[in-house]
């Protein structure tokens, strides 16, 4: 079963990003949206963790990054999607696991 994990909190204020990485299996995707987009920004330990995560893909919701003025700071290798892409990700995975 493939899972789309969603993380919506900043990695600096909540452990949900770390908790998600600890449980995400290879073949799954993590979508960072709302305040979770900060985890995808360059120069952070979370972006480094993303680079080192084996077999787990990452995506960031562009509109949320843009809203926060960090769309130009998204680390390499992280796909930027819009709400259409969010819907597609949901369809492409067997289930969604929201980290709240």
Q: Which residues bind another protein (CB under 8 A)?
A: 1, 3, 6, 8-9, 15-16, 19, 22-25, 33-35, 63, 82-84, 86-87, 90-91, 94-100
Q: Are 82 and 62 in contact (CB under 8 A)?
A: yes
Residue nearer to another protein on the CB measure, 58 or 86: 86
Q: How far apart are CA 20 and CA 23, in angstroms?
A: 5
Least distance to another protein, CB of residue 48, Å: 20
Helix (H) or strand (E) segment spanning residue 39: none
Residue nearer to another protein on the CB measure, 12 or 25: 25
Structure tokens at 37: 């987009």
Q: Using only the alpha carbons of the chain, give its radius of gyration.
A: 12
Least distance to another protein, CB of residue 91, Å: 5
């Amino acid at each position: 079963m493939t899972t789309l994990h969603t993380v919506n909190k900043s990695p600096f204020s909540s452990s949900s990003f770390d908790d998600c990485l600890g449980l995400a299996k290879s073949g799954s995707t993590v979508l960072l949206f709302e305040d979770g987009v900060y985890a995808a920004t360059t120069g952070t330990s979370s972006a480094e963790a993303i680079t080192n995560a084996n077999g787990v893909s990452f995506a960031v919701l562009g509109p949320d990054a843009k809203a926060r003025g960090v769309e130009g700071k998204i680390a390499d290798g992280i796909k930027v999607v819009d709400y259409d892409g969010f819907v597609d990700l949901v369809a492409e995975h067997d289930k969604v696991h929201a980290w709240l």
